[in-house]
Structure 1
Amino acid sequence: MVDAKSLRLFLPRQIRELPADLVVVLIVVAATNAAALLPVVRETPIRIPLGLVFLLFLPGYAFVAALFPEASERSRSGDVTDGSTPLGTASPTGIERGALSFGLSVAIVPLIALLLDLTLREPTLTSILIATSMFVVLLSIIAGVRRWNLTPERRFTIPYRTWIESGRATVFESNSRGTVIVNVLLIVSVLLALGTVSYAIALPQDGERFSSAYILTEDDGELVTDGYPTEYDGEDAQEIVFGIDNQEHRTVEYTTVFAIQEVEVQNDETIVVEQEELERFDAELAHGESWHHEHEIDPPMTGDDLRLVWLVYLDREPPEEPTLENADRSVHLWIEVDE
């Protein structure tokens, strides 16, 4: 029976000898794209830690890996096993690579966004994610090729097996039972602290959850919150743009009822005398998405006390008699229509 080790021999040498650190880089890139783009996964908290690692570490690490494929001189000499060497050697050590990765990532990601802004004019988070992913994958391939061209003794490798064995020995093979207990408690405390911080970042505050509805007009090709059409002659229809922003930190189905109302003001109270529904709009938006709907306004009523209302309902069907009071969100516009 053929085992997994035998099947591995059928793979090309480059794949079999692919450095473990570059494999992890490619896995994190794929996981980040899945967490950001897949409809179900992108709504889970996993996108927060993956996004932080992807933006703040991977671009710089791939750049350093492509630039320095060799191990540091002291690591090759065998004086140390953790890859640490004094500053000033030809190739950076593991600790130096980590520090450079953070610093370079902070510089590289804004440069990628700037290049996209110069080429696409309106870069989105998705385009920045894809461009950064291509940058990391390309440099990881270059780093892998450059390492393959070196002898095994000169290649940079992460001694993860040594680290694991050293950590296990430090935690569980101490001569003192008290030291072992302290080490275990320290590891648990660090994990709890990291989990608490990640949970606080991933879980938004209640005040940050909201949906906004608004109306816009077009002025020289741009949408502005000004110049609303308020006077009609009963003949020509006028256009207006209705918009919704989703900041609910979840996907929401919006149903909007567009209606016209004839109102009267009695004792400082606005009373709806007559209401006529004109149109309904449906939109499903993920968190952070915006939706604009351009439509015409051709009022079927005449008078001076008329009000256009857009009544928005979240994840539910509008009631039989939609009103400003029972709507989840609303926006209105006072108009006058000549007879």
Structure 2
Amino acid sequence: MSDGTLRLLLPRFLRRFPADLAAIVLLVLATGVATLAPVISETPLRVVLGLVFALFAPGYAFIAALFPERGPAFDGASASATADEDERSGSNLVERDESADAHTGLTERADPRRAGSIDGIERVALSFGLSIAITPLIGLVLNFTPFGIRLVPIVLSIGGFTLLASAVAALRRQALPVEERFEVPYRAWVGAARAELFEPETRLDAVLNVVLVVSLLLAVSSVGYAVMVPKSGESFSEFYLLTENESGALVADDYPQNFTVGQSQPLTIGIGNHEHEQAEYSVVAELQRVSIRNNSTTVRERQELDRFSRTVPANESANWTHDVTPSMTGERLRLVYLLYRGSPPAEPTIENAYRETHLWVNVSS
């Protein structure tokens, strides 16, 4: 079954949809699947598609909507092809003035270039430049919405913008005459590349073609290796305490300082996992009476308030509320939280903890 027959099986609106914009739509859909699907999102395909999705697709769709007409580069190619046909047919334009004039007039009438159109190189360059501008702007807008700058809102926002711009670009192209519409010359590029690679004119051209192919293979292999085996970087865990302000937002400020025996006050405990793998954490909460002399701290009495465990996925954070209910009274007591990877030891202390954070509090009766 030929390509033309397969194309006729598609709905009419899909047959009329430009091929380059269809590729952009497929890229958006593939990136959404590679980013949000549970299994595929853990593969390097997410990184490869995500880079093209964020740094090229929105700008290309936007440029396609602004400039639906053909650019001068394609006209030059058309004029060159016409000149080659005239040379092959042996036409003598000098002797046939009238035919030359008629041919020139026909070329002028068939010239599809419009004022303000751009060529292919400008289109590609502007696609990268506008994508670098559009993506941060979308992130800035999301920052002032309840959704925030998170993975799902970013993918949906950039994808929605790209699909909308692609639809506008397709409608604007269809409104133009066929000879004026922008079209990527895939077949011409493939034919030229095939002739250059497999039918070199000289031995030097053949050698250069081999060097070019080897260079491309090395470049693709290097990028693939960098994506498949990324550098892990520094591994660490964040451990912090938060409180709720008057609007209900979590902030690292205005911690409670005065407690009463038997009365609870809430604190929010947070763990940020940057260990590049899922981690099991244990937290031990203690209220300690300490003495400090010569920059040395000695624990004189301790009361264990609570202990709990949490599983935090890689590159994610977990917050939960802990109600502090002290039973020890005193001034300037140390409310300490000790973080361990895995199970805590029999006698947890600040010295053997993986991370620790504490507050100085007063507890009255």
Q: What root-mean-square deviation, in Å, do the aligned CA atoms of Structure 1 and Structure 2 show?
A: 3.7
Aligned to 1:257: 283
Q: Residues 267 and 324 of structure 2 are in contact (CA less than 8 Å); yes or no, is this contact kept in structure 1? A: yes
- After superposition, give the CA deviation of every residue in 1:190-242 in whole Å (9 maximum; x if it has no partner): 443355357557824523x3221111223433433344334433132112111
C-alpha separation in 1, matches of 2:80 and 2:40? 42
Q: Residues 73 and 120 of structure 2 are in contact (CA less than 8 Å); yes or no, is this contact kept in structure 1? A: no
C-alpha separation in 2, matches of 1:72 and 1:129? 31
C-alpha separation in 1, matches of 2:300 and 2:211? 67
Q: Residues 72 and 91 of structure 1 are in contact (CA less than 8 Å); yes or no, is this contact kept in structure 2? A: yes
SS at match of 2:180: coil
For residues 17-36 of structure 1, the aligned pairs below 5 Å read: 17-36=16-35
- After superposition, give the CA deviation of every residue in 1:266-316 in whole Å (9 maximum; x if it has no partner): 9947568656361414243342x33322221002444568544434345x4
C-alpha change, 1:44 and 1:277, in structure 2 (3 Å) is farther
Shift of 1:327: 4.3
C-alpha separation in 2, matches of 1:121 and 1:29? 20
Structure 1 position 185 matched with structure 2 position 184: no
- After superposition, give the CA deviation of every residue in 1:305-336 in whole Å (9 maximum; x if it has no partner): 8544434345x455566554554433333445
Shift of 1:184: 2.7
SS at match of 1:156: coil
Shift of 1:163: 1.4
Match of residue 339, structure 2, among 301, 312, 316: 312
Aligned to 1:49: 48
C-alpha change, 1:164 and 1:237, in structure 2 (3 Å) is same
Aligned to 2:156: 130
Aligned to 2:130: 104
C-alpha separation in 1, matches of 2:336 and 2:42? 32
For residues 55-74 of structure 1, the aligned pairs below 5 Å read: 55-72=54-71
C-alpha separation in 2, matches of 1:117 and 1:305? 40
TM-score by length of 1: 0.78
Structure 1 position 293 matched with structure 2 position 320: yes
Aligned to 2:308: 280
Aligned to 2:10: 11
Shift of 1:136: 0.5
Of residues 125-134 and 176-185 in structure 1, the stretch that sits farther from structure 2 once superposed is 176-185
C-alpha separation in 1, matches of 2:224 and 2:291? 53
C-alpha change, 1:118 and 1:235, in structure 2 (3 Å) is closer
Residue type of the partner of 1:70?
E
Shift of 1:30: 1.7
SS at match of 1:206: coil
C-alpha separation in 2, matches of 1:331 and 1:161? 65
C-alpha separation in 2, matches of 1:39 and 1:323? 39
- After superposition, give the CA deviation of every residue in 1:145-165 in whole Å (9 maximum; x if it has no partner): 333444543332111222123
Residue type of the partner of 2:30?
A
Q: Residues 32 and 54 of structure 1 are in contact (CA less than 8 Å); yes or no, is this contact kept in structure 2? A: yes
SS at match of 1:203: coil
For structure 1, list consecutive stretches of 5 or more residues without a partner in the other structure. Answer: none
Larger CA Rg, structure 1 vs 2: 2
- After superposition, give the CA deviation of every residue in 1:72-120 in whole Å (9 maximum; x if it has no partner): 3562571257xxx9x9844222112112212222332333334434554
Q: Percent of pairs identical after alignment?
A: 43
Structure 1 position 234 matched with structure 2 position 261: yes
Residue type of the partner of 1:144?
A
C-alpha change, 1:306 and 1:90, in structure 2 (3 Å) is closer
Q: Residues 337 and 357 of structure 2 are in contact (CA less than 8 Å); yes or no, is this contact kept in structure 1? A: yes
Shift of 1:170: 1.9
Aligned to 1:170: 196
Residue type of the partner of 1:280?
F
Q: Residues 273 and 279 of structure 2 are in contact (CA less than 8 Å); yes or no, is this contact kept in structure 1? A: no
C-alpha change, 1:195 and 1:318, in structure 2 (3 Å) is farther
Q: Residues 288 and 302 of structure 2 are in contact (CA less than 8 Å); yes or no, is this contact kept in structure 1? A: yes
Q: Residues 311 and 323 of structure 1 are in contact (CA less than 8 Å); yes or no, is this contact kept in structure 2? A: yes
C-alpha separation in 2, matches of 1:187 and 1:6? 34
TM-score by length of 2: 0.74
C-alpha separation in 2, matches of 1:121 and 1:40? 24
C-alpha separation in 1, matches of 2:221 and 2:80? 33
SS at match of 1:96: helix
Q: Residues 147 and 155 of structure 1 are in contact (CA less than 8 Å); yes or no, is this contact kept in structure 2? A: yes
SS at match of 2:261: coil
C-alpha separation in 1, matches of 2:250 and 2:195? 65
